[in-house]
Amino acid sequence: MTSDDTEFQRRRNALASYLAENFPAIDHETLQDIQNNVQWMELRAGDVLMEQGAPGDAAYLTVSGRLRVYVKTDYGASRMVRELGRGEITGEISLYTDAPRSATVVAIRRTVVVRLDKAHFTALVARNPRVSTALTKKIIERLQTQHDRRPLPPPVTVTLLPITDAVDAAGMARRLTQALAQFGRACWVDSSTVASRVAAEVLEDLEAEHDFVLMVADSEPNEWTELCISLSDEVLLLADATQPAAIHPVEQACMVDPPQRSEVAETLVLLHPASTQSPLGMRRWVERRPVTGHVNLRAELDGDIARLARLLSRNAVGLVLAGGGARGFAHLGVWQALDDLGIEIDCVGGTSMGAVMAAAIAADRGIPKTIDVLKQAFKINPTGDYNMLPLISLIKGRRIRAIVERSIASLMGGPVDIVDLWKGYFCIASNYSQGSEMQLHKGDLGRALRASIAIPGALPPVVMDGELFCDGGTFNNFPADVMRNMRGVGKVIGVDLSARRARRLEFDEMPSAWQILFDRLKPRARQRYRVPSLVSYLLNVSVLYSVSRQSESRRQTDLYFNPALFKFGFLQWARFSAIVTQGDAHAREVLGALSLAEKQAWGIREA
The residues assigned a catalytic role are: 352, 471
User: Minimal CA–CA distance to 380: which of 407, 353, 360, 420?
Assistant: 407
For residues 315 and 307, the answer to whether their CB atoms sit within 8 Å is: no
CA angle 342, 343, 347 (to 5 degrees): 145
The amino acid present at 319, given as its one-letter code, is L
Give CA–CA dist 574/570, Å, rounded.
11
Question: Half-sphere exposure of 111 toward its Cβ, with a 13 Å CA cutoff?
Answer: 32
Give CA–CA dist 381/459, Å, rounded.
14
The amino acid present at 370, given as its one-letter code, is T
CA distances from 107 to 42, 232, 587 (A): 10, 12, 44
Give CA–CA dist 382/352, Å, rounded.
13
Would you call 95 helix, strand, or coil by DSSP? helix
Give CA–CA dist 536/533, Å, rounded.
5
CA angle 310, 313, 315 (to 5 degrees): 50
Please, which residues have CB within 8 angstroms of residue 440's CB and are 6 or more apart in sequence?
418, 426, 427, 428, 429, 448, 451, 452
Pairing of strands 316-321, 347-351: parallel
Give CA–CA dist 227/1, Å, rounded.
25
Give CA–CA dist 349/21, Å, rounded.
37
Give CA–CA dist 333/327, Å, rounded.
11
Give CA–CA dist 387/349, Å, rounded.
31
Would you call 584 helix, strand, or coil by DSSP? helix
Considering just the CA atoms, what is the radius of gyration of the chain in Å?
28
Other Cβ atoms closer than 10 A to 298: 18
Residues in the chain: 607
Give CA–CA dist 127/33, Å, rounded.
10
